[in-house]
Structure 1
Amino acid sequence: MPAALLQALCLVAVIEGLFLFAAPELWRRTMEQLLGRADASLRRLGAGVLVAGLASLWWMHAA
């Protein structure tokens, strides 16, 4: 289990690095737009991403 968690975190770092490498201007504009959002809006967005990620993990584990 700890190895799988570490692998998942490494994959997150690879994906985030890929976004920064491939489209830095788009990434910058996205971050600027997020800075302008209210905390409640960011929490809803985070909750949605969290639920989508958990559902994806559950679906992949069940398959």
Structure 2
Amino acid sequence: MQELLHSLLVGFSLLLIAEGVLPFLKPKLWREMMVRAIASSDKNLRVLGAVSMFLGLMLLLLARS
């Protein structure tokens, strides 16, 4: 159980780091992307989320094998 919590904490930490890179390096581009995301339909955002989750799962499976 301890190892699982540790892995989740590491994963969440890496997520926060990855999410912070673009706003840190290119805040104007990040802001423009957020405006586009807000203007997108729910369907488009769901598809993007599904693709993102699928790619993350594939990378995780690849890394663990």
The CA deviation at 1:7 is: 0.8
How many residue pairs get matched? 62
Partners of 2:48 and 2:18 in 1: CA distance: 19
Equivalent residue, structure 2, for 1:8: 11
Residue 23 of structure 2 aligns to which amino acid in structure 1? L
1:41 aligns with 2:44: yes
1:18 aligns with 2:21: yes
Q: TM-score, normalised by structure 1?
A: 0.91
Unaligned runs of 5+ in 2: none
Partners of 2:12 and 2:26 in 1: CA distance: 21
Partners of 1:18 and 1:53 in 2: CA distance: 18
1:28 is aligned, of 31, 44, 49, to: 31
For residues 15-61 of structure 1, what are the alpha-carbon distances to aligned partners after superposition, in whole Å with 9 as ceiling and x for unaligned?
22222111101100111111111101100110000000000100111
Unaligned runs of 5+ in 1: none
The two structures, once aligned, show a CA RMSD in angstroms of: 0.8
SS of residue matched to 2:51: helix
Q: Which moved more, 1:44-53 or 1:16-25?
A: 16-25
